[in-house]
Amino acid sequence: MLVYNKLIEYVDVIRDMSHNMRVNGEMKHNISYGRSTRVFEKISYKYCRKCDRCDICWEKEVESSYKAANVLVDKGTQLGRIEISDLPRNFAIRCKNIDRLLLEANAGFEIERCNLRWIERINDLKNIMSIQLNEIASSIYELGQNYSNLIALDKDVEKGIRKILRKHGIYVKEVYYYENKHGLKEINITLRTIKKKVIKSSFIACLISNVLKEDMEVSINSRETVKNSLCEIVLVQKSLYQIKTYFKVMKKEGEILCGDNYTVLKDNCGQTVMLLSDGMGTGLQAFEESKKLIEMLESLLQAGFSKEIAVRLIHSAMYINSFENSMYATVDICLIDNYTGRCEFIKNGAAPSFIKRANKVEIIEYNSLPIGILDAKGYKQEYEESYNNQIVYENGNSNQQEYFLEEGDIVVMITDGLEENMGDYIGATSRIKDVLSGINSNNPKTIADILMEKCIEGNIVNDDVSVLIGILWKNN
């Protein structure tokens, strides 16, 4: 509990930082009255004070001059600009510096407008950082929940584990047993071999499975072998399903690189994640944008961040990057639970996906902006949702939907190049659905080949095309 309490302390500190970083209130796009007044004070000091007509304007004709000053300040506040026709006529005739005064007033208003734009951008960044800090706090909180879910291992079971491993030349220092955030059993063991033996972790999993009378397997991030130095391996319940995948790509004609990138990940909780990204445009820049997005998603997901938090963090990071260089990319995520077949899609600017069961095909599509594009209102709303959800996120994305897959079901993810290269973009999604309905194969490579061939049909490839296929099978 000491570790758990310390993690919760970190969460509280980071959330306080997030709250303090937050910028409240709507951004004002007009120059404030105070800023307009400051512009007037600068030009009046520069021109009026040294003018030989100063006593006329500010003593004899003081009422007219104050009226002109008020007009200048009001126009600056409302419009950010003033014309000579806006000023009282007698003041405009009397002032011998009127042209320079107007020129400098409008230059001053433009500077104030520029300052406002920078303040708005800085406030955007503050709110983005506030969101990111809150997301990190959420992940630390989830990590802490694992420590709070530690379960006392039955003494006889622990004794049996130590005994069988010792029999095979393995010394066990510590054994921890807990349920992860998905309610799945995990066993964390610190151990080493005796007499310089090298033993496969999968063999250790088999030994412990016999003791527990339950199939366990080595987690994806654990080491493959155990040697005579202390190390840690994690065993998890063996999943019911596995996902077989295949990726096929066709780059735009004349380009060296394809602007699409993909990856397939499996985490410690038995989740398979299929990721597909389409960089804006084609060629090197598109390739680098989608590659960077995929690499960031990989790093965050493998580090244990939830998919929702990972997407939001990358969204804000690429938005910040776009201040200097326009960097946008679509993100298409399909997450499949290998224990239950539960399937979720998260799409940001991505093309439709498809689920094929026998000869029936369902279309999955959403309307949302690519990663890296957000307006101020979007960030404000995102922050409010992020902050008010009190760390734990439950289906907070409007572009997220879940399905349940059965053995043999096929998930098809594409980039929009497949639709754009079909000749007739209107109705392209329905045509892809028809093609998939007619494919009688459960081989992911065959499905990808047929889909590409029938949809493009010899057309000139004007945009990068990618297809990522995943098929659910029982884990024998």
pLDDT at 393 over 60: no
Two structure tokens written together for 255 = 């380009």
Task: pLDDT band for 366, please (50, 70, 90 cuts).
Answer: confident
- By CB neighbour count within 10 A (0-12 exposed, 13-18 middle, 19+ buried), where does 431 fall? middle
Place of tokens 């990856």: 263
Q: Cα–Cα distances in Å, from 217 out to 84, 205, 245, 443?
A: 81, 6, 21, 26
Task: pLDDT band for 24, please (50, 70, 90 cuts).
Answer: low
pLDDT at 437 over 50: yes
**Residue percentage of the chain with pLDDT more than 90:** 25
Global pTM? 0.70
Residues 408 and 460 in one domain: yes
- Tell me: the pLDDT tens digits for 45-94? 777 777 877 777 777 777 777 777 777 777 777 777 778 888 777 777 77
Residues 96 and 171 in one domain: no
Cα separation, 454 vs 439, whole angstroms = 11
Q: What is the DSSP string of 219-244?
A: -TTS-SEE-SS-EEEEEEEPPSEEEE
Structurally, the chain folds into a number of domains equal to: 3
Question: Burial code of 259-275, b = ≥16 C-beta within 10 A, e = fewer?
Answer: bbbbbbebbbbbbbbbb
pLDDT at 380 over 70: no
pLDDT at 16 over 60: yes
Residue at 422 is within a domain: yes
Q: What is the DSSP string of 38-91?
A: HHHHHHIIIIITT-TTHHIIIIITHHHHHHHHHHHHHHHHHTS---GGGS-HHH
Comparing CA positions, the residue from 370, 361, 294, 364 lying closest to residue 327 is 370
Residue at 190 is within a domain: yes
Cα separation, 116 vs 75, whole angstroms = 17
Region of 443 please: left (phi>0), alpha (psi -120 to 50) or beta.
beta
Residues 252 and 157 in one domain: no
Residues 186 and 300 in one domain: no
> Strands 216-218 and 150-151, how do they pair?
unpaired
Q: Which of 75, 102, 136 is the last residue of a domain?
A: 136
- Tell me: the pLDDT tens digits for 244-286? 999 999 888 887 888 889 999 887 678 899 999 888 777 787 8
Q: Which of 85, 104, 136 is the last residue of a domain?
A: 136
- Tell me: the pLDDT tens digits for 333-345? 899 999 999 999 9
Could you tell me the residue range of the domain that residue 128 belongs to? 1-136
Residues, the chain = 476
Task: Out of 39-43, 103-107, 428-432, give the one with best mean pLDDT.
Answer: 428-432
Residues 178 and 246 in one domain: no
Residue at 318 is within a domain: yes
Q: Which of 190, 215, 237 is the last residue of a domain?
A: 237
Average pLDDT over residues 412-423: 85
What pLDDT score does 195 carry?
83
Angle (nearest 5°) at CA 58 between 54 and 60: 100
Cα separation, 340 vs 241, whole angstroms = 8
Residues 170 and 299 in one domain: no
pLDDT at 305 over 70: yes
Residues 211 and 281 in one domain: no
| Structural contact between residues 340 and 404, judged by C-beta atoms closer than 8 angstroms | yes
Residues 247 and 228 in one domain: no
Residues 206 and 267 in one domain: no
Assign residue 344 the CATH number of its domain: 3.60.40.10
Residues 159 and 128 in one domain: no
